[in-house]
């Protein structure tokens, strides 16, 4: 795969050692080369080369950390549905560019059907959600419909992809 961001490129098939490395990284993002090599049953130098290939090809997009929202006072999660008045490429691009600049927006998905977009946002409390709506969300370009649901609790919250 030349560029993981290009949706038209078919990825190269992953070999068993690549899959083992990826599974271990999903389990432990801080795994050392020695730990990855052991999980893939290969030498550290071969593992290092495979890891660099996975990074260079875009299979591994980045390394990150998961933070407990309560630890940083981001206790309220809301799912927000947004419909646009016009689904032209230009209007959608304007919306997507603007929404990507809002720090409280954790995820934004373009959907089929109605509504057009789903956002997942994190804020401190209801007042924070109201403030986010008043100062940022309702000012997004092209919005015609807006609705939200509050998340009561997380049932499944994983980042690991099945393969």
Q: Where are the domains of the chain?
A: 1-65, 69-150
The answer, yes or no, to whether residue 159 has pLDDT greater than 90, is no
How many whole angstroms from its chain centre is CA 64? Answer: 11
Please tell me whether the overall predicted TM-score, pTM, comes out greater than 0.95 for this model: no
* pLDDT score, position 11: 62
The answer, yes or no, to whether residue 78 has pLDDT greater than 90, is yes
User: Per CATH, which fold does 1-65 belong to?
Assistant: Arc Repressor Mutant, subunit A (1.10.10)
In whole numbers, what is the pLDDT of the chain averaged over residues? 91
Q: Cβ(82)–Cβ(119) under 8 Å?
A: yes
The answer, yes or no, to whether residue 140 has pLDDT greater than 70, is yes
Radius of gyration of the chain (CA): 20
- Average pLDDT on 25-54 reads 96
Domain 69-150 sits in CATH at: 3.30.70.920
**pLDDT of 118-128, one tens digit each?**
999 999 999 99
How many whole angstroms from its chain centre is CA 137? Answer: 19
The token duo for 96 is: 């997507």
* CATH topology agreement for domains 1-65 and 69-150: no
């Amino acid at each position: 795969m030349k560029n993981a961001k290009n949706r038209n490129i078919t990825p190269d098939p992953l070999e068993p050692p690549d899959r083992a490395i990826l599974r271990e990284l999903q389990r432990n993002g801080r795994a050392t080369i020695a730990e990855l090599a052991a999980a893939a049953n290969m030498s550290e130098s071969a593992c290092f080369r495979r890891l660099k290939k996975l990074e260079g090809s875009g299979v591994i997009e980045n390394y990150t950390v998961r933070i407990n929202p309560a630890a940083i006072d981001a206790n309220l999660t809301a799912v927000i549905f947004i419909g646009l008045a016009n689904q032209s490429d230009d209007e959608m691009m304007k919306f997507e560019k603007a929404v990507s600049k809002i720090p409280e927006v954790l995820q934004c998905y373009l959907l089929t059907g109605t509504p057009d977009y789903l956002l997942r946002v994190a804020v401190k409390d209801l007042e924070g959600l109201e403030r986010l709506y008043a100062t940022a969300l309702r000012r997004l370009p092209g919005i015609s419909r807006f609705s939200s649901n509050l998340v009561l609790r997380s049932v499944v919250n994983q980042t690991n992809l099945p393969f």
